[in-house]
Chain A
Amino acid sequence: MTHTLHRSGTVESLSIDYPVLVIAAQGINSKDSAPKFRKALEIILKHNPVNFGDMRTGNYFRKGLKPILNSTKENSIVHGVFTNKNDLEECLKELKEADLGLSVVVSGLFSEVWPTLKNIGLKPHSLNISLGVFGKKELLPEREILDITTMCGHHCVSPLLVKKMISDIKRDKISIEEAARELAKPCVCGVFNPLRAEELLENILKKPGGQS
């Protein structure tokens, strides 16, 4: 489940992209963990996430707040996505203080995440590092499309849907914000960053004939 590992993009674009994940080790600390997952979600919600969800229930844009909060299970994996380091830091600080015993994983630029951990007296414990894509890369969509679709690591966000959204924005059928929200819906886990998607869509649209 490396669903937040291979997010592509420039350093500048990734600097507003910090998914946080909370998980139990099945068979070790998962027993009676459902209320702890709810507590973790409540903490995440206090710090301005642009998306959130539970892998067992779905994301905010499809399920809404209450069904996610009220459905946590012992094998939940809950997520929140933050767009600035202050919110990230405050959330991690509160998760640390809550001492839920669950594992917490932060995705994002190592150069930004590690100093954030240091600020709250934590150190990286283990890392997951992406060595990139191998194989028939000619089968991949354009890089600017991938920067959007890889925000759903399970690849439930279709490159064709990105192109459809761009076309609809150009024809004034939909706003950029609405397009970003529509793109966030298929990402079950709630790790798709709609704010970053807006920026990426804007950049595509600025280019002459961008994805026309």
Chain B
Amino acid sequence: MLITDLCVGCTRCVPYCPSGAISIGKDKKAHIDRNKCVECSVCYNNANCPVNAIQPEELEWPRSVREVFATVYKEHKQTNVPGRGTEEMKTNDVTGRFRPGEVGFSVDMGRPGVGVDLKDVEKLTMALAKVGVEFEPLNPLTFLMSDKKTGKLRDDVLSERVHSCIPEFKIKEEKFPEVLETLQRVSKEINSVFSLGICVKVNPDGSVPIMKYLNEHNIYYLPNGKTNIGIGKPAAKF
């Protein structure tokens, strides 16, 4: 995103930037910090610049990675799914992706609202790979890996920063403590945050084994979350 010389310094666009990348310079015009900007287009789409000074630019690789992980309604070519992740549990009633005894993870890196350097993302994906995690092949982040076995990202994207990206994977339930410990350890080594989500299939009797584990081990979880109500068709067989 660019702010052209048309800018009259009205400051209207400044608060719209979720990354705090827009500021007013000594020349009394708005400027975008290119390192902080994640190419989300929120300023362009919402600030209603009175002189149309905010303009999108043609982004070249690897900077274009920022836009892919920030522009909500652009679908990813490989998945046909808009956004930064996959359908995960949202279509589990049809896909059967998460089966009894499995736990899906979505590590929302950079959220809420902080953003994340891809070199920090790599720290996490490589640590997870070391404990045997296999990443969801259809997740857009997995396409940036040069080695899916080690979680290594392509070297040419490592200096990029994204609004958020979501390492996704599933494990057998018994592996949950080891993976959680890994995530907790790496969370202390990165210069960002992540919001952690887990996906599970509810048992036919209505019980949720992972919740029992979370309660027994005093692991915090939010009282609110997402519930797939199971009316999709054709229904997956479990």
A interface residues (Cβ-Cβ under 8 A, vs B): 1-8, 11, 14, 17, 21, 23-30, 55-58, 62, 75, 77, 92, 95-96, 99, 101-111, 113-114, 117, 122-137, 139-141, 146, 149-150, 153-161, 163-164, 185-186, 188-189
Contact = CB atoms under 8 A, between A and B. Distances in A.
Interface string B90-102: 1111110010000
A25 B223 contact: no
B1 to A, nearest CB: 14
Given A122-B231, A186-B16, A28 B86 contact: no
A130 B196 contact: yes
Given A25-B232, A55-B73, A103-B93, A11 B223 contact: yes
A55 B228 contact: no
Contacts of B225: 5, 107, 110, 127-130
B3 interface: no
B192 interface: yes
Contact of B42 (A3, A186, A189): A186
A109 B227 CA distance: 10
A135 B193 contact: yes
Nearest to B91: A25
B31 interface: no
A56 B191 contact: no
Contact of B83 (A6, A55, A160): A55
A163 B17 CA distance: 12
A19 to B, nearest CB: 9
A75 B197 contact: no
Interface stretch (B55-63, B107-115, B127-135, B146-154): B107-115
Given A25-B95, A127-B227, A105 B72 contact: no
A17 B210 CA distance: 25
Interface string B181-204: 001100110111111111111100
B88 interface: yes
Given A130-B196, A189-B72, 6 more contacts: A6-B197, A26-B80, A104-B231, A130-B224, A137-B193, A141-B113
